[in-house]
Amino acid sequence: MAQATFHFPRGFLWGTATASHQVEGNNTNNNWWAWEQRDGHIVENQKSGLADDWWNGRWREDFDRAAESGQNAHRLSIEWSRIQPTPDRWDESALDRYREMLRGLTERGMTPMVTLHHFTDPQWLGERGGWENRSTPEAFTTFVNRAVEALREYANLWVTINEPNVLVTSAYFMGIWPPGKSDLRAAFNVMENLVRAHAMAYQAIHELQPDARVGIAINYRGFIPARNWFLPDRWIAGLQNSLFNEFFPNALSSGVLRYPLWSRRMTEARGTQDFLGLNYYTREYIAFSPFQAAEMFARRFYLPGADLSPSGFIVNAPEGMFQALKWARKFNRPILITENGVEDKEDQLRPRYLIQHLHQVWRAVNFNFPIKGYFHWTLVDNFEWERGWTQRFGLWELDPETQTRTRRPSAELYAEICRENGISSDMVARYAPKIFDKLFPN
């Protein structure tokens, strides 16, 4: 049997990623909590409730789990609605609690990465029109100023906005997230406001903390024409790629907003990313479908026999990770893989998914791609937005009723990877023997 180890560069960041609403619990003052209270919005009408009970302090034990597993970094988000519960009031106790969390990471030898907006808004912002309101970028920047000033002692790695492409698609194209709209005009307006908000926040952070590293996290999804010979399939796949994958990082690189039939300049956005945060989960085939306007005239599907997650939500396509990294490299910025993972309650797919995707990251590193770290989604099972508790992404399993954590085998696999700073043939033989010959051919 072949024996070898795929090592990563010295100083590589190994961590997991979380989001405030998904783990804190009882975030009663944001738009997602209000959305959950209405029937039909969440699978089985489930509620986030206590979530992972971090707001009551269980972050401590989860950070211990991460640190004891060899992780040297953690990505978390802070909750705007807790810090600014009303337009004219700031909650210093909430900032104190986030300061304590970040201090807890540094005391455990872990580098914090802080996301300033991870899908949720204060309810008062929604009452003002949310991200459709031209004044929202200014309101966001005011919040960013207050938060960064309070937390900069413990963090200098910031994600301004998580997955703006997913936010726009889910909330303003498909209408399955708050505010539940399917309105192209509103969607384009929100895209512009999100770019402006990032640009303003970028400048504000650097004024407060000149050595800060600031970027966005973009969800890259591979779109493959179902029939490469069929022009409409190629066209719709290209359109999906330009709007979903390309729009935001292109705007932050060039200062140009490129829509399907027009473009316009936003010069203040040019050059406002110190790194590109890349979230990659899966890729899919795209066929033109004139009857699916809500899906941007596309029918999306996986091939028969694909290696699917239990709910069919994600296909294990590790070669898509390499393509995503190749795409990210063109923006000439350091790359941080800010999310990657798979929903898998029984932990059958996750070991090979994790190993195969990290192997593609290793391949890219050896082509001198500037990849600086990897954050697995996620540390402990959490509340997965409109899919509620039906999808389990955690290295540790959570029982939401009892708050009991149970280590999955993948938690130990990831711990070995973090400690080794690499993937060994022995790990693959023990955790994912079916793919051994693919990674270590004789």
Q: So what's the pLDDT on residue 296?
A: 78
Tell whether 298 is covered by a domain. Answer: no
Per-residue pLDDT, 331: 98
Phi, psi (5° rounding) for residue 425? -60, -35
**Is position 295 within any domain?**
no
Q: Residue 21 falls within a domain, yes or no?
A: yes
AA identity, residue 403? Q
Q: How far apart are CA 148 and CA 143, in angstroms?
A: 9
Residue at 206: amino acid letter: H
The C-alpha atoms of residue 264 and residue 262 are separated, in whole angstroms, by 7
Number of folded domains in the chain? Answer: 1
pTM exceeds cut of 0.95: yes
Question: Would you state the pLDDT for residue 297?
Answer: 87
CATH number, position 334: 3.20.20.80
Is 340 within the bounds of a domain? yes
Unique residue bearing structure tokens 């959490």: 382
Residue at 292 is within a domain: no
Flag whether 282 is in a domain: no
Strands (E), 39-195: 73-77, 111-115, 157-162
Q: Which residues contact 427 (CB under 8 A, 6 or more apart)?
A: 355, 413, 416, 417, 420
Is residue 222 in some structural domain? Answer: no
Q: How many CB atoms lie within 10 A of CB 440?
A: 17
Taking only the tens place, the pLDDT of each residue in 368-394 is 999 999 999 999 999 999 999 999 999
With respect to residue 110, please indicate whether it lies within any of the assigned structural domains. Answer: yes
- Domain span holding position 329: 5-216+268-277+311-439
Residue 255 confidence (pLDDT): 98
State the residue for tokens 């939401």.
Answer: 400
Residue-wise pLDDT tens for the chain (442 aa)?
678 999 999 999 999 999 999 999 999 999 999 999 999 999 999 999 999 999 999 999 999 999 999 999 999 999 999 999 999 999 999 999 999 999 999 999 999 999 999 999 999 999 999 999 999 999 999 999 999 999 999 999 999 999 999 999 999 999 999 999 999 999 999 999 999 999 999 999 999 999 999 999 999 999 999 999 999 999 999 999 999 999 999 999 999 999 999 999 999 999 999 999 999 999 999 999 988 876 778 999 999 999 999 999 999 999 999 999 999 999 999 999 999 999 999 999 999 999 999 999 999 999 999 999 999 999 999 999 999 999 999 999 999 999 999 999 999 999 999 999 999 999 999 999 999 999 998 7
What's the rounded Cα separation, in Å, for the pair 226 and 228? 6
Residue found by looking up tokens 């390499």 in the block: 322
One-letter amino acid at 413 equals L
